[in-house]
Chains A and B, each alone.
With several copies, the nearest count.
Chain A
Amino acid sequence: SIATEMATAYATSLVNSLTENCFDKCILQPSSSLTSVEENCINDCASKFMRSWNLISKSYIARINNP
Chain B
Amino acid sequence: QEVAAFIQQESSKMKIQSSVTSFTDKCFKKCVSAIDNGNLSNYEANCMNDCLNRFLDTNIKIVEM
A–B direct touch in complex (beta carbons closer than 8 A): yes
Count, A-B residue pairs, CB within 8 A: 135
Chain B contacts of A14 at CB under 8 A? 17, 21
Of B38, B39, B47, B55, which is within 8 A of A19 by CB?
A: B55
> Which residues of B in the span 14-65 have a Cβ within 8 Å of any Cβ on A?
14, 16-32, 35-40, 44-45, 47-59, 61-63, 65
Of B24, B51, B61, B65, which is within 8 A of A53 by CB?
A: B24
Chain A interface size range: 35 or more
Minimum distance in angstroms from A46 CB to a CB of chain B? 5
Of A19, A34, A56, which is within 8 A of B52 by CB?
A: A56
Footprint of A on B, CB under 8 Å? 6-7, 10-11, 14, 16-32, 35-40, 44-45, 47-59, 61-63, 65
